[in-house]
Amino acid sequence: MAGVNGGVGGADTVGVGHLASVGKQSPETSRQRESARLALALSCFRFVAAVASEKTNRKLGADGAMDRLVATVHAFPGNELVEVAAGAAMKALVRGNEQNMRMAFSLGKGDVVW
């Protein structure tokens, strides 16, 4: 009995060569992907810092902005660029908003915003 791709015994051999390479990336591709992730995170931090104001902070906080900032920092452990950019965004979010300040403390980032 022939398989879908002419394999013997009814076995389907579609993509067998491809399956062996799934999950493998060249070191260059991994670095490019990590660099793109970092650039996106930094851009998001700058955006939040730019739109944060006493008028918007309550809504941004209610929408989970502080949680997302902290989660993103944890995705890049020890990265000083991320910590500085995230810190600026967090400080902008707590300006004039006690609830966001409490959220920062509860997420372990009180030292950043105080």
Q: What is the pLDDT along the chain (114 residues), one digit of tens a residue?
A: 444 444 444 444 444 454 455 566 678 889 999 999 999 999 999 999 999 999 999 999 999 999 999 999 999 999 999 999 999 999 999 999 999 999 999 999 999 998
Does residue 90 belong to any structural domain of this protein?
Answer: yes
Does residue 2 belong to any structural domain of this protein?
Answer: no
Q: What is the pTM of this model?
A: 0.72
Structure tokens that stand for 95 in this block = 């300006």
Tally of domains in the chain:
1
With H, G, I as helix, E, B as strand and everything else as coil, classify residue 4. Answer: coil
Does residue 28 belong to any structural domain of this protein?
Answer: no
Please give the residue range of the domain that contains residue 57.
Answer: 41-113
Does residue 24 belong to any structural domain of this protein?
Answer: no
